[in-house]
Amino acid sequence: MARFISASIRPMQRWPVIKKNILINSKEAVMADNINQFERYLRVIVGGGLLLWTLFFEGAAWGWLGVVPLATGLIGWCPVYSLFRK
């Protein structure tokens, strides 16, 4: 006689839960935007300006800090804001 092995039944997935700007799902965690549109544009302009100044006009070494506002402006999520905002 042939034996059939029953397929394991997986538990139902829970609905996603939102906790402090981070969407938590059973499979993945997604960062929600916490920077408004105007501030994103401003961060990209200031960060890009600092990097261009450092690269092309031999600016100070601290100009490389322009990577931080540029990256947060492009991504739309700031880790410092997620710590201090409700």
Question: What is d(CA 42, CA 72) in angstroms, rounded to the nearest whole number?
Answer: 11
Domain count, the chain: 1
Cα distance between residue 48 and residue 65, in whole Å: 10
| Model pLDDT, residue 34 | 86
How far apart are alpha carbons 10 and 5 in whole angstroms? 15
Q: What token pair was written down for 42?
A: 């401003």
Measured CA to CA, the distance from residue 30 to residue 23 in angstroms comes to 5
Where is average pLDDT lowest: 2-6, 28-32, 57-61, 66-70? Answer: 2-6
pTM higher than 0.75, yes or no? no
On whether residue 24 sits in a domain, the answer given is no
Count of helix runs (H) and strand runs (E) in the chain: 3, 3
Domain that holds residue 60: 33-84
48 domain residue, yes or no: yes
**Of all residues in the chain, what percent carry a pLDDT higher than 70?**
63
